[in-house]
Amino acid sequence: MELRHLRYFATVAQTCHFGRAAVLLHVAQPALSQAIRQLEAELGAALFTRTTRQVRLTPAGEFLHDEAKRVLGSVDDSVRGVRRIAQGRLGLVRMAFTGTSAFTHLPRIVRVLRRELPDVALEIHTDLLTPAQCDGLRDDSIDLGLLRPPATGEEISVRTIEVEPLVLAVPAHHRLADEPLLAMPDLATESFVLYSNPDSAVNEAVVRRCRQAGFLPHHEHDAPGTAALLALVAAGLGIALVPASARAMPLTGVVFRDVAGAGSVELALAWREHRESALVTSVLDVLGVLFAADRQPVQKAAG
Amino acid sequence: MELRHLRYFATVAQTCHFGRAAVLLHVAQPALSQAIRQLEAELGAALFTRTTRQVRLTPAGEFLHDEAKRVLGSVDDSVRGVRRIAQGRLGLVRMAFTGTSAFTHLPRIVRVLRRELPDVALEIHTDLLTPAQCDGLRDDSIDLGLLRPPATGEEISVRTIEVEPLVLAVPAHHRLADEPLLAMPDLATESFVLYSNPDSAVNEAVVRRCRQAGFLPHHEHDAPGTAALLALVAAGLGIALVPASARAMPLTGVVFRDVAGAGSVELALAWREHRESALVTSVLDVLGVLFAADRQPVQKAAG
DNA sequence: TAAAAATACTCCATAGGTATTTTAT
DNA sequence: ATAAAATACCTATGGAGTATTTTTA
């Protein structure tokens, strides 16, 4: 038996008329008669009682009509499902976020993905720093990461979505708070508050810049996150270089200053380069639009 | 798309090996490769990632594998269902019983049908006398009847399953209770208790026999069923001719006597003669065995 | 007698076979 | 080097078309 038989049968059952069914199916009437007889022979069951004047379903035909409709509908659904999966519009994406990116970007990402790709389920992994995300991509435990480059490993593709300059956070009454212009060497003798996590990409950027300026940051205190770090600065325990977005959480007793040559940190989407799935591609497309819209007004303001 | 594609695909998905799948499917490997490529082209989706060394399902293929197994299983189930319906082993039979046959035969019929044809559902219609059953058969509201012949109408087939002689029920102290031999003319002057229902086949047989003996039964009282009828006889309100099975409900004050020429009533299965369904046929087969087993010991006892 | 299904017969599309090539490990 | 999938090409089955016959209401 083939779906052809079921399709032909369902149409004849619907119309109870071989001629009209043949028209609907775009085949000649004898071809239909033949296919139905063939089906009946294979099943060992009469499906229609037919005279030249009247075609009626037998009980077995009645049953098969229901079944055929179900099966054909089911096949259609399967085809639709396969196509949507192949188009990356149906499936599960496991997405990782760093601690800070979760707060700043996760809500918008989830919202836009639910709107644009409603049949793509999201599995969210939070508090994964860059190296953990790279591992996750490599061992296929996540599909997409929001991390701070550089991502280690050749097989990982990266698309930067945001560049944040590092800015100086100093206690309000610190000597550097009032300097007209600051450059990296000015920080050489200061005590730094750093992030606790040894894998922190921000820390790494800070240390790299300090080394380029000819010194290593003197590190007395550290904090698990930006909020805690700023609190320590406010308390006068040291200075810190933090992403510019930290200005969004103002704290009395902390002053933010631009520093020439302080560099910047990036936030980027990362995914497996090879065997890239249609799902990841379509998610990247949607997120690309989202972050392009982000950048657009900034460029206008600058130009 | 045809079931062939799904069958081929499911086997390749199972084995992840075109060569072995081809062996299982009894086709050559190139035919399989070709069919799968054709399926992929139609779906617009890659179903396998394949090198010469390794065949793996894509996410779309993974999905289609589940769907294909479901659809193919569903088709198999449908085929089995159609075959069983065509064999009369699956379906619904609407069966009618007369008032008395319901008590005497319905339990055994239901029991044996549930055992021999477990997937045949029974819809029981009770208290339908012979003419009502004939109507039901004709207008297709019942499929099978247990009635007392003769059944009116040419298009109804009948198979007698039981012949019961009519016997005389008389009050214990009635003059006929002690007569050595009785014949119909002896009843000519008696008062009869009859069944209330004007369509009663037993009444008709009684009246016919009386008429053949040259009299019409003098009818003073009637009763809706055999039990009530015997009660009236016990009360001395008259005599009655009843099926011999009435001896199975003995009542103090009632004596049963054989009467020469009293005739008999039959119980028969009845069904539509033309367009007879496989279902009715298989039910008749089972009931045929049941009632043949009934008759066998009786014949032995008689012979 | 007329409408519709079945039958007879033909044709070609394509499923599937064989032989061979390509490719990845 | 080898196993396995892809490709090339050919064959033949059978699906579908046209013409005709049969059937029944």
The 3-class secondary structure across B129-186, one letter per residue, is CHHHHHHHHHCCCCCEEEECCCCCCCCEEEEEEEEEEEEEEEECCCHHHHCCCCEHHH
Check CB contact of B160 with chain A, cutoff 8 Å.
no
d(CA A133, CA A147): 7
Q: How many Cβ atoms sit within 10 Å of the Cβ of residue B155?
A: 12
DSSP strands (E only) in chain B: 48-50, 55-57, 91-97, 120-125, 144-147, 156-171, 191-195, 218-223, 240-243, 254-257, 264-272
User: Look-up: residue for tokens 């990402």?
Assistant: A109
Cα A283 to Cα A93, A102, A106, A110, A144, distances in angstroms: 8, 17, 14, 11, 9
Name which of A271, A251, A15, A292 is nearest A143 in CA terms. Answer: A271
Backbone φ and ψ for A96, nearest 5 degrees, come out as -110, 145
Q: Who's near A264: CB < 8 A, 6+ residues apart?
A: A163, A164, A165, A166, A205
- Do A13 and A68 meet the contact criterion of CB atoms below 8 Å apart? yes
In this complex, the answer to whether residue B30 has its CB under 7 A from any atom of chain C, a nucleic strand, is yes
User: Look-up: residue for tokens 């300026």?
Assistant: A213
d(CA A17, CA A28): 13
* Chain A 40-69, residues with CB within 8 Å of chain B CB atoms: 43-47, 49, 58-60, 63-64, 67-68
Q: Who's near A115: CB < 8 A, 6+ residues apart?
A: none
d(CA B231, CA B251): 8
AA letter at A292 = A
Q: Who's near A303: CB < 8 A, 6+ residues apart?
A: none
The pLDDT of residue B39 is: 92
d(CA A288, CA A62): 53
Check CB contact of A83 with chain B, cutoff 8 Å.
yes
Q: How many beta-carbon pairs below 8 A join chains A and B? A: 92
AA letter at A103 = F
Q: Who's near A88: CB < 8 A, 6+ residues apart?
A: A117, A120, A277, A278, A279, A280, A281, A282, A283
- Coil, strand or helix at B27: coil
Contacts of B65 in chain A (CB under 8 A): none
Maximum CA extent, chain A: 106
User: Look-up: residue for tokens 């819209």?
Assistant: A293
Q: How many Cβ atoms sit within 10 Å of the Cβ of residue A15?
A: 16
Q: How many Cβ atoms sit within 10 Å of the Cβ of residue B289?
A: 12
AA letter at B74 = S
- Coil, strand or helix at B274: coil
DSSP-derived secondary structure letter, A155: T
- Do A239 and A255 meet the contact criterion of CB atoms below 8 Å apart? no
- Coil, strand or helix at A170: strand
Check CB contact of A183 with chain B, cutoff 8 Å.
no
d(CA A240, CA A170): 7
CB contact under 8 A, B85 and A63: yes
Give, rounded to a whole angstrom, the gap between the first and last alpha carbons of chain A.
69
The pLDDT of residue A152 is: 73
d(CA A10, CA A35): 12
Enter the tokens of residue B116. 């021999």
The pLDDT of residue A300 is: 35
Task: Give the DSSP H/E element, type plus range, for residue A154.
Answer: none
Shortest CB distance from A2 goes to which of B4, B45, B277?
Answer: B4
Chain D: bases < 7 Å from a protein Cβ: 3-9, 15-19, 22-25
The pLDDT of residue B275 is: 62
- Do B286 and B116 meet the contact criterion of CB atoms below 8 Å apart? yes
Task: Give the DSSP H/E element, type plus range, for residue A160.
Answer: strand A156-171
Stated in angstroms, how far is B154 CA from C24 C1'?
Answer: 79
Task: Give the DSSP H/E element, type plus range, for residue B83.
Answer: helix B59-86
The pLDDT of residue A120 is: 97
The pLDDT of residue B296 is: 57
Low-confidence ranges of chain B (pLDDT < 70): 275-276, 295-303
CB contact under 8 A, A82 and B2: no
d(CA B11, CA B39): 14
Beta bridge partners of B49: B56
AA letter at A299 = Q
Q: What is the pLDDT of residues A121-138, one digit of tens each?
A: 999 998 888 888 999 998
Give, rounded to a whole angstrom, the gap between the first and last alpha carbons of chain B.
68
- Do B126 and B142 meet the contact criterion of CB atoms below 8 Å apart? no
Low-confidence ranges of chain A (pLDDT < 70): 275-276, 295-303
Contacts 24+ apart (CB under 8 A), B226-229: B226/B100, B229/B169, B229/B193, B229/B194, B229/B195
pTM of the entire predicted model: 0.80
Task: Give the DSSP H/E element, type plus range, for residue A165.
Answer: strand A156-171
Task: Give the DSSP H/E element, type plus range, for residue B10.
Answer: helix B3-15
- Coil, strand or helix at A229: helix
Name which of B134, B162, B130 is nearest B287 in CA terms. Answer: B162
d(CA A33, CA A245): 74
Contacts of A82 in chain B (CB under 8 A): 43, 45, 47, 60, 63-64, 67
d(CA B120, CA A206): 81
- Do A246 and A226 meet the contact criterion of CB atoms below 8 Å apart? yes
Q: Which of residues 54-113 of A touch strand C (CB under 7 A)?
A: 55
Stated in angstroms, how far is A80 CA from C22 C1'?
Answer: 34
- Residue B185 preceded by cis peptide, ω within 30: no
Check CB contact of B275 with chain A, cutoff 8 Å.
yes
Q: What's the gap between Cα A252 and its chain centre? A: 37
